[in-house]
Amino acid sequence: MRAALALAEERLGKVNGVVHAAGVAGGGMIQLKTRAAVAEVFAPKVFGALVLEALLKGRELDFFVCCSSALSVVGPLGQIDYCAANAFLDAFAHAHATRRGVPTVSINWDAWGESGMAVEAAPAAVGAKTMTDNDGASVAQDGEQVAHPLFQRRVVEPGGATAYVTRLGGGADWMLNEHRIMGRRVLPGTAYLEMARAAFREVVPSASAAELRDVVFVSPLAVGDGEEAEIRTVVEKNGSGWNFRVVSRPAAGQGSAGAWREHATGKLYAAANESHRTLDLEAIARACGEQRPDLAAGPRPDGREGQTAFGPRWKSLKRVSVGAGELLGVLELPAEFAAEIEEFELHPALMDVATGVAARRITEGFYLPLSYGRVRVNGPLPAQVFAHVRERARTDGGKETVAFDVALCDAEGVVRVEVEDFILRRVDGTIAAQSQSTTAKAAAGDAAGQDGDARRAVKSIPGAISLREGADAFARVLGATQLRQLVVAPRDLQSLVERSEAFSQAALLEQPEQEQSPKRQYPRPALQTAYVAPGNEIEERLADIWQNLLGVERVGVRDDFFELGGHSLLTLQMVSRLRDAFRIELPLRDVFEIHTVAELAVAVEEHIMNKIIEKISGLSDEEARLVQQETPDFLANR
């Protein structure tokens, strides 16, 4: 630092003031904190301040500004190290001004919405789950060995969950080396399916078939060249099935292990023991009579050729033929890799190409995989796969989401894997490229994250500081030399405390998700749409769900969910809350297409009415009257 200071003054002239803005995010349970982990969070803020003080001792400075955090004032759950480091800066400002006579101030910044640590940490924060492992422990040093290429060890978490652990990124890891987005190695989403399936086979070896449901891709898993990641597939019993999630962090020995990042979630069940469905491949081939060699070998219609690069295992699509609302693809894993079929039931490359055939039907827009409604694995994929793709709705582009059903069978037509409700979400091509690239950087430890959904999540926090607001506040603070500490936030201090207390108490008491919203909500933002109040009980319930979910005081029935700050992860939470409030299961693709309370109310009412009609169909008049008596009050007179 002494050399850096000398060089700066040589090139730029005398140092007249200091802005100490260094810092890294902390977080995690205090019981699991190690001295090394805490020291890493302390180093930039605490020791950085002390080093600057020592270097500049005796100099006449116009100001010494410490960039602290509002978290040191409100004390949120799970931030002991970060709060302590910022609390030191607050105390340092008072002491430094008194002892040295230098105008010193500690600014307790609230979250910034367009730049800064909150945005950088957003991709991890959006999907982070608490992991209770040995910090930095080598995969090869704990747990029991597991015989699967994607797993090395099995460990049991203190809470009872089972984690299947691996370390990927070495030179021989073809799943990463052969699947690149914007030049960076990204694990294909289908690898999560194989990880979940293999974990299920470990916990329920007697199951004849596995069924994955509600699988959602949360964020890409990218590993830079020359780097490795520790990946865990965590399985936990839940009722008649199991929940799973796939998380990762940079592998131990590569600097900071960092926070766990969530990549995929879903549910696992033992599928009913039934005879395998058989497809009439000849009839499907006749229905799909239009041969499309351009879709099999030519440039992709979605424009992704310049953004993706695939290795030889992805060169498996041989033929594509198209019919009305359906498509038939023929795939064959190159002969030199055929032996891998014995290692993977869902070979990630073959599965990726097979389900990806669906995207080749889309002629407009850029779509990325979002979720699988249901994946039934009857048996391993063969080296030669016939993929029958059917549209669940028109896929001529322009929609927020598109959905397909995919049946993967062998040459005899025996269905090995059935996929229902495979959803792809429309994104802007440029944004998608940036999202994939920068999320990859974040996953590899680069804090320059600009992930689209994560950035919108931070910007959607009511009261987040804009760059213009931050610059204006900073200039005003510099002009007030008598101040030693102040909180800078577009909302009052009491509201920050209330939000923190509401979340902390809910987490400690393990309250249901809908009760975890802060008590305080924030004014409805200025929208182009005028406020229209709910007109019936369904709309009132939905508006209340949105208000709690988004932290907005008033939601009108014509307000756009995404303009209010919603994003894809909040949409997933909304589906869960609709299930609790109305006891219905709206398809995720439908919810993505609906942007207002008014539209959602219509869909909810139709869904409930259809359930009632289905229930009373075939009943006697007396039985039907009993069902009618059970009809919710808000539908009784409609």
pLDDT digits (tens, 9 = 90+) for 287-335: 998 888 877 764 343 444 456 788 999 999 999 999 988 999 999 999 9
Residue 130, pLDDT score? 40
Q: Are strands 290-291 and 308-310 parallel, antiparallel or unpaired?
A: unpaired
State the distance between the two ends of the chain, measured CA to CA, in whole angstroms: 73
Q: What is the pLDDT at residue 399?
A: 64
Once rounded to an integer, what is the mean pLDDT over residues 483-507?
A: 68
**Integer Cα distance of 56 and 471 in angstroms:** 25
Alpha-carbon distance values, 418 to 149, 160, 172, 373, 404 (Å):
23, 31, 31, 11, 11
What CA–CA distance (Å, rounded) separates 355 from 274? 24
* pLDDT over threshold 70, residue 264: yes
What kind and span of H or E run contains 287?
A: helix 281-287
Task: Evaluate the CA torsion angle 588, 594, 596, 600 in order and state its sign.
Answer: negative
* Identity of the highest mean pLDDT range in 179-193, 253-267, 391-405: 179-193
CATH topology for 127-272 is Thiol Ester Dehydrase; Chain A (3.10.129)
The DSSP 8-state label assigned to residue 47 in this structure reads I
The whole-angstrom distance between residue 173's C-alpha and the CA centroid of its chain comes to 24
pLDDT of residue 580: 77
**Which superfamily does CATH assign the domain made up of 2-113+461-501 to?**
NAD(P)-binding Rossmann-like Domain (3.40.50.720)
CA geometry: angle at 344 spanning 341 and 349, to 5°? 80
pLDDT of residue 198: 95
pLDDT at 569: 62
Residue 432 CA to residue 365 CA, distance in Å, equals 11
Query: Residue 447: pLDDT above 50?
Result: no
CATH assignment of 281-427, among 3.30.70.20, 3.10.129.120, 3.40.50.150, 3.40.50.300 = 3.10.129.120
Residue 434, judged by CB atoms within 10 A of its CB (0-12, 13-18, 19+), counts as: middle
pTM: 0.58
Distance CA(637)–CA(629), nearest Å, equals 12
CA distance to 90, 127, 132, 509, per residue, from 79 (Å): 16, 17, 16, 18
What is the pLDDT averaged over residues 195-223? 89
Specify the pLDDT at position 495. 64
Using alpha carbons, select from 231, 223, 246 the residue that is nearest to residue 170.
Answer: 223
- In this predicted structure, the answer to whether residue 337 has a pLDDT above a threshold of 90 is yes
Mean pLDDT value across the chain: 78
Confidence of residue 448 (pLDDT cuts 50, 70, 90): very low
Integer Cα distance of 88 and 68 in angstroms? 9
48-103 pLDDT tens trace: 999 999 999 888 899 999 999 888 888 766 678 889 999 999 999 999 998 888 99
Q: How large a percentage of the chain has pLDDT more than 70?
A: 73
- List, in sequence order, the alpha helices (H) in 405-451: 429-443
Q: DSSP state, 552?
A: B
Could you tell me the residue ranges of all domains in the chain? 2-113+461-501, 127-272, 281-427, 537-636
For residues 434-456, give the mean pLDDT.
37
Model confidence pLDDT, tens digit, residues 578-636: 877 888 877 776 777 788 999 999 999 888 888 777 777 777 777 666 655 555 555 54
Assess whether the region 127-272 and the region 281-427 belong to the same CATH fold: yes
Find out whether 328 and 320 touch, Cβ atoms under 8 Å.
Answer: yes
Of 50, 4, 49, whose CA–CA distance to 23 is shortest? 49
Write the class of the CATH domain 537-636. Answer: mainly alpha
Q: How confident is the model at residue 361 (pLDDT cuts 50, 70, 90)?
A: low
Beta-strand ranges (E) seen in 218-301 are 222-223, 229-238, 241-250, 261-270, 290-291
Residue closest to 570 by CA, chosen among 488, 467, 461, 457? 457
Query: Is the confidence at residue 434, as pLDDT, over 50?
Result: no
449 pLDDT more than 60: no
